[in-house]
Structure 1
């Protein structure tokens, strides 16, 4: 890959107090413009990896590099990292604390010491990007779950990070809420934000991601999502099943309905369209 590296772990090891290494000698990079899905069983180290990338944890060995500079863990170094990388945790209630949506979204920019005009502009743009402008004065405790998710993401977006890391962002959302969030993420990507998503949903990862990183007992395997998520050996090691889109593509190719090298369906609607386009001749 030729895309610039925005943030990377180089030879990083980390263990929680009195515990074994969660990661050991890990090299891992997030490249600009590549939508990246992190997948693995519970306890595989996804949360640890995300917190190492965003500065929430400090490596026991190795280094974190952001924008070509080794991260230092003093106030200045962490502030610099967090203007590059922002993490949004799975439960928005762990992240929201201000009385209203607008106040919560403004918290990060205010802490950067930005002028009031710049803070207001950032808040307005972030609320618009997450389609929650009308909620600016809404008390956070009166928001729906999906609205709280969007508010938490808006707070991170207001920091203008180059890398936005999301932990299970679609968990707890209904299908319409998931589709709206994915559309929002596409808008953020179009605006230049590189998005990393931790998820258990292999179908979502295949549909959304350019690259996939599988966390297995033997380490992290990273590569193009369509190739990594077709590897049944790696999926089994990561405690994951084969995405239905991969299985559907195999079924279609076996029946001559999909050419070798042609992208398979990523949604049920795409599959129905492919089969319908073949008509009666495509049956059997």
Structure 2
């Protein structure tokens, strides 16, 4: 079995003067997979993401990258953050520089890279997020969607192997969501492993290879279509059944498709599927 790109073993974390959020957690991020992280509010999703990215240090347990334990000194965290980057839900919590290009350059500059390399990384990240034309735009004049893309570009400029996104589609209109998903597919095509925390089970079913459900009894991981069709585990995680799974159950129950046939996961796919079937 291949070594996970990032793994937590026996992780425990409690906030000061607060309850234990995670205890004895084992969690793996396999390389090259799109992983959706789902759970009710307060289930520990944000804590888990911060543990994976080094923003928090577990009270017990071990974080590893490529099987090598992470250390929490300056050098160890620097190595971790060149491999794993977290983009928080609210871009205003992450953006602080005067212009888009300045903000995106912050991480590479902190790595001590030479100026030509920094410029190359900024240009690459802006192009990946389709915001090259915004390079000189003041960050306070950006739309919400543009601020989201700028925050992600700042992480991408670090060239991480794992990009962790906290509710990246929240607050975006449908067109903005589609453009962001296209961008994420482009990043995956260039070798970036993407982890997305989301409450949107329909998005997770459509997008993710694997799904991790955070429940009071622990984390449950597996292939997205399998995990997101498990009614008992979804209920334990405080989540509803995805639209696509309900449609599949209805169509199969009425004998409209043979067993094992590929079924739609979105309304658009359903419309196309019906046209093909009736044709």
- TM-score (norm: length of structure 1): 0.96
* 1:143 counterpart residue number: 142
Q: 1:52 to 1:246 in 2, by over 3 A?
A: same
Match of 2:87 in 1: 88
Q: C-alpha separation between the residues in 1 aligned to 2:9 and 2:261? A: 36
* Counterparts of residues 17-166 of structure 1 (less than 5 Å): 17-166=16-165
Q: Is the 8 A contact 2:53 2:84 kept in 1?
A: yes
| SS of structure 2 residue aligned to 1:22 | strand
Give me the CA root mean square deviation: 1.1
SS state of the match for residue 12, structure 1? strand
2 CA distance for matches of 1:214 and 1:59? 20
Q: Aligned with 1:5: secondary structure? A: coil
**2:213 & 2:38 partners in 1: Cα distance?**
5
Residue 272 of structure 1, CA deviation:
1.2
Give me the whole-angstrom Cα distance separating, in 2, the residues matched to 1:250 and 1:36. 24
1:262 CA drift (Å): 2.2
Match of 1:187 in 2: 186
What is the alpha-carbon distance in structure 2 between the residues aligned to residue 73 and residue 199 of structure 1? Answer: 28
Structure 1 residues 201-224: Cα deviation after superposition (integer angstroms, max 9, x where no partner): 000000000000000000000000
Q: Secondary structure at the match of 2:160?
A: coil
**Secondary structure of the corresponding residue to residue 125 of structure 2:** helix
Q: 1:93 to 1:105 in 2, by over 3 A?
A: same
3-state SS of paired residue (1:269): helix
- 1:28-52: CA deviation from partner (whole Å, max 9, x where unpaired): 0000001000000000000000000
| Distance across 1 between alignment mates of 2:258 and 2:168 | 34
Could you list the per-position Cα deviations for residues 76-117 of structure 1 after superposition, in whole angstroms to 9, with x for gaps in the alignment? 000000001000000000000000000000000000000000
- 1:18 deviates by 2.1
Alpha carbons 2:3, 2:67 under 8 Å: kept: no
Please give the alpha-carbon distance, in whole angstroms, between the structure 2 residues aligned to 1:278 and 1:76: 58
Query: 2-side partners of 1:144 and 1:258: how far apart?
Result: 44
Gaps of 5+ in 2: none
Structure 1 unaligned regions, length at least 5 = none
SS of residue paired to 2:62: strand
How many residue pairs match? The answer is 279
Separation in structure 2 between the aligned mates of residue 4 and residue 149 of structure 1, nearest angstrom: 32
4+ runs deviating over 4 angstroms: none
8 Å Cα contact 1:207/1:266 also seen in 2: yes
Partner of 2:10: 11
